[in-house]
Chain A
């Protein structure tokens, strides 16, 4: 039934993260047609609407067969879009990596707030780990350091490549790393040495705290926003003694995975899409929260309104607010 419409039929994958909101448009066969990497800037709903409306402008005729959402804002995006699949970012990254690099065995993923490792064998994820308490070695920390050094984050990795002998920087957590880095600057080291040292510290921190105990085998795929940083890639290769592969669409792998899982859901389980259509770009969505006073837990209850009507609610611990 669906086969007739392969021409203009697409699957949409959306990854709403803390730093970026990514959109991937996949064709009927699951190949990436176009992608958008947008800064979330604390306004996921508006950015999502803008991203969709520009997509609509680029493609006159566009038939969305299914939608998948992922990332920390997956539930919000799922409600707004009418998503068919709402998946965690570990599963979507694993699916996307095995689609783009069929024999991948290890996925290193470093995003804005989280970093993770996924171990894949025979095309399925068999083990994973995510950073726990400390946030050193994520994109936001690197962003922060780049702006402190007054360097564009895009050039950050390039500086690292120019280093002759990287400085040793303590990478245990972002507080120690930053103060140690300032100390090394004050000793008079050159910028490339310091930046390369920081990249190596991030990689050591990742391998000791996130990937610890995991069986890292090649091929190794490095994805997420930080994979664009050539300094970090080089530091990984130096530390692991193996080649690290950065896929072309490394920054939108979560969105690709979400789209692939939506495709699986629709085509193999024969479901009909719940996508609300591109009209949602004109709808007024509002998020309001309040502190419930019914018990000492004082839950922050979050309400999502579509044109003034309550469509979703979360954040509560008990059943008091369950009914929407």
Chain B
């Protein structure tokens, strides 16, 4: 039987695996992203490519070493290089001697129905719809719980307790195959998190919004676990980018994108690829909602985010909100990131204390 694999991106593996398994396919999740994954990607990927391509490539190699033979990858068209990555990865993997089939999810895939049939066989709609519903439900609940994690690490009663609860949740949801069971653990884990909330670590509430390129925003390995670092510094984090929000936009199920573009209009009117315009629009929204700061995340050399980065200083000035732009590649050091985050949080705390007139030094 064919073994399907796909790259890691945050907790996307859970709903995607559910989808294919409930259709009766065998799924092989690549080993958790590690230094080995990165080393493989850096060794075989083009030097100029951005970090997501390298990690994806490492995921594919590690999964194929364990026996996967059908690869699923995203694609696309437009200004961001991402659309080209599936093609580049395919050629590299062929050169390395792997034998596999690849299925690229991109605009207009349904036109290529024969290819889908060749890889996956004939699947009736009556089977696809319940599987999709189940996977979608999982993704939504995972987002809900994760939003609570992001908000509440800043005020957890004991260090790491929220992450422990979250890890239990991930383990439990992975094997659930009914909507009811998923619904049930949603309330169970919401309660657990609510019970572990105490005082703010910094003594005051600090809210920071995350914007940027989707892979860097969703994948903790590549962003050096920035959300956890912020949480441990006493910061409540919020973000608008999730797999579900991206899919809603992709499938034209939500008007969110129009809101974002409307908010960005004052600073950027054109689509610049990737999530460039979202970074601007969402920053404006966070400022309007009274957030204390915004952190922008992107892979080194990411064109859409470089455009946003150069516009963000004017947004920061006009909307009166501190912004920290961070670009990552395979050399990004943990210590350097920690220093910048601590300084950013200090800056926010002092700003707030200054407003309240309780500054000493």
Binding site for B on A (CB under 8 A): 30, 72, 87-91, 95, 99, 122-128, 130, 132-133, 213-215, 260-261, 263-264, 267-268, 295-298, 317, 319
- Minimum-distance CB pairs A-B, first 3: A90-B343, A296-B34, A213-B313
Which of B114-122, B239-247, B345-353 lies at the binding interface? Answer: B345-353
* Interface status of B255 (Cβ within 8 A of chain A): no
Between-chain CB contacts (< 8 Å), 5 pairs: A88-B343, A123-B354, A130-B339, A296-B37, A319-B160
Q: Is the CB of A124 within 8 A of B36?
A: no
Pair B343/A215 contact, Cβ less than 8 Å: no
Residue of B160, B336, B344, B361 touching A263 (CB-CB under 8 A): B361
**Interface flag for B88 (CB, 8 Å):** no
Q: For the complex formed, measure the closest distance between the CB of B78 and the CB atoms of chain A, giving whole angstroms.
A: 26
Contacting residues, chain A, for B32 (C-beta < 8 A): 295
Distance between Cα atoms of A126 and B343 in the complex (Å): 10
> Which residue from A91, A214, A264, A296 sits with its C-beta under 8 Å from B36?
A296
Which of B31, B359, B361 meets A261, CB within 8 Å? B361
Chain B hits for A213, CB < 8 A: 310, 312-313
CB of A103, distance to nearest CB on chain B (Å): 15
B34 lies within 8 A of A295 (CB): yes
A128 touches which of B36, B160, B343 (Cβ 8 Å): B343
Q: Is B258 located at the chain interface by the 8 A CB criterion?
A: no
Compute how far the CA of A99 lies from the CA of B350 in the bound complex, rounded to whole angstroms. 15
Chain B at the A interface: SS class = helix
Provide the bound-state CA to CA distance between A87 and B300, in Å: 27
When distances are taken between beta carbons in the complex, the residues of chain B under 8 Å from A124 are: 347, 350-351, 354, 359
| Also in contact, A260 and B322, with CB within 8 A (given A125-B346, A133-B329, A215-B317) | no
Please tell me if the beta carbons of B313 and A214 are within 8 angstroms of each other in the complex: yes
Q: Which of A88, A214, A296 contacts B346 (CB 8 A)?
A: A88
Q: Are A88 and B361 in contact (CB under 8 A)?
A: no
A209 to chain B, nearest CB (A): 12
The closest CB in chain B to the CB of A86 belongs to: B342
Interface string of B16-35 (1 = CB under 8 A from A): 00000000000000011011
> A324–B129 Cα gap in the complex (Å)?
52
- Across the interface, do A126 and B339 meet the contact criterion of CB distance under 8 Å? no
Do residues A268 and B360 form an inter-chain contact, with CB atoms below 8 A? yes
Contact A297 B342 (CB under 8 A): no
Decide if A126 touches B331 in the complex (CB within 8 Å).
no
B186 located at the interface, meaning its Cβ lies under 8 Å from any Cβ of chain A in the complex: no
The CA-CA distance from A126 to B355 in the complex, in Å, is 13
Task: Contacts A99-B361, A268-B360, A297-B34 given; indicate if A125 touches B342 (C-beta within 8 A).
Answer: no
What residues on A are CB-neighbors of B160 within 8 Å?
319
Say whether B340 faces chain A, with CB atoms less than 8 Å apart: yes
The interface size of chain B toward A, counting residues with CB under 8 Å, comes to: 34
Asked whether A126 and B317 contact (CB < 8 A) given A91-B343, A91-B346, A133-B300, the answer is no
Which residues of B from 137 to 166 have beta carbons under 8 Å from A?
Answer: 160
| Complex Cα gap A105–B312 (Å) | 21
Residues of B227-258 contacting chain A, CB below 8 A: none
The reply on B110 being an interface residue by CB < 8 A is: no
Check if B335 is an interface residue, CB within 8 A of chain A.
yes
CB A281 to nearest CB in B, in angstroms, measures: 26
Contact A297 B359 (CB under 8 A): no
Chain A residue, CB-CB nearest to B224: A317
Chain A residues within an 8 Å CB radius of B267:
none
CA–CA, A280 and B338, complex, Å: 28
With CB as the reference atom, state the residue of chain A lying closest to B339. A88
Determine if B340 and A130 form an interchain contact, defined as CB atoms under 8 angstroms apart: yes
Q: Is there a chain A Cβ closer than 8 Å to B316's Cβ?
A: yes
Q: Are B354 and A122 in contact (CB under 8 A)?
A: yes
Residues from chain A with a CB closer than 8 A to the CB of B34 are 295-298
Q: Does B327 contact A (CB under 8 A)?
A: yes
Contacts of B359 in A (CB 8 A): 123-124
What sequence of 0s and 1s flags, for each residue 110-137 of chain B, a beta carbon within 8 Å of any chain A beta carbon? 0000000000000000000000000000
CA distance A135 to B37 in the complex (A): 27
Contacts of A268 in B (CB 8 A): 360
Contact check, A133 vs B343: say whether CB atoms are below 8 A apart: no
Q: Select one of B316, B346, B354 contacting A127, CB under 8 A.
A: B316
B361 touches A128 (CB 8 A): no
B313-345 interface code vs A (CB 8 A; 1 in, 0 out) = 100110000100001010100011011101110
Q: How far, in Å, is A282 (CB) from chain B's closest CB?
A: 29
A128 and chain B: residue at smallest CB distance: B343
Contact check, A72 vs B313: say whether CB atoms are below 8 A apart: no
Q: A127-B347, A296-B37 are in contact. List 15 more A-B contacts (CB 8 A).
A: A88-B338, A90-B339, A90-B340, A90-B346, A91-B343, A125-B343, A125-B346, A125-B350, A126-B347, A126-B351, A127-B322, A130-B339, A132-B327, A268-B360, A319-B160
User: How far does the Cβ of B120 sit from chain A's closest Cβ, in whole Å?
Assistant: 31
Query: Which residue of B is nearest A127, CB measured?
Result: B322
* Chain A, residue nearest B325 (CB): A129
Return chain A residues, CB-CB under 8 Å to B336: 130
Shortest A96–chain B CB gap in Å is 10
List the B side residues contacting A123 at CB < 8 Å. 354, 359
Contacts of A72 in B (CB 8 A): 335, 339
Known interface pairs A87-B342, A124-B354, A298-B35. Does A264 touch B360 (Cβ–Cβ under 8 Å)? yes
